[in-house]
Amino acid sequence: MNVTFVKTGARRYAVEVERDRHPDLRCGSIGFHEYLPHDLLHFVAEAEFGLDGGVFGDLASGGNARIFIPVDTTLVAKMWRKQRKQKTRLPDGRRSEQFADALARAWSTRRSDDPQVERLIPKLDALAERWHALPVGGSLRLEWPRAERGRLAARRASAGASARRRARS
């Protein structure tokens, strides 16, 4: 799965998702930042910390994370009907939000009490530089680090990861 962050305006962006096993998706921006858009922080957090039950993990498993719509407009109605029947659950959604916030704070303050977060500051620096340099219409494409899966396999993997995290706590 490839995720492209597109600068659509002076203070706007969109996220486009190309998938091999499922239809491609798109969504508008949630919050703008000149250097590190919120959704980019979510991508880094979920990719780096193995949060397959977050937004991008859900997308990789064929979902729409409640906010993405198909690029192929003929699939929109079908997707919403399916959504009404089977509610989207993001078991790692809260953790993703916490890590995204921690990454934003660490990047802006240049430090973190969490060594896992602090080690990502150089990666965030590189992404921030690339994003900031983009003109309107420019894009930043990132590859999701894990294979696309079906919904059932993703739910099982997420449940197992959650159980392992609880056992360590």
pLDDT tens-digit series, residues 111-164: 999 999 999 999 999 999 999 999 999 999 999 999 998 765 555 555 565 565
**Total domains, the chain:** 1
Domain of 138 in residue numbering reads as 2-168
Contact 85, 17 (CB under 8 A): no
Report how far residue 102's alpha carbon sits from residue 91's, in angstroms, rounded to the nearest whole number. 19
What are the strands, taking DSSP E only, across 44-155? 69-70, 139-143
Query: Rounded to an integer, what distance in angstroms lies between the CA atom of residue 56 and that of residue 43?
Result: 6
State the pTM of this model: 0.85
What is the model's pLDDT at position 53? 96
* Structural Rg of the chain based on CA atoms: 16
Report helix, strand or coil for 162: helix
The two tokens of residue 21 are 């096993």
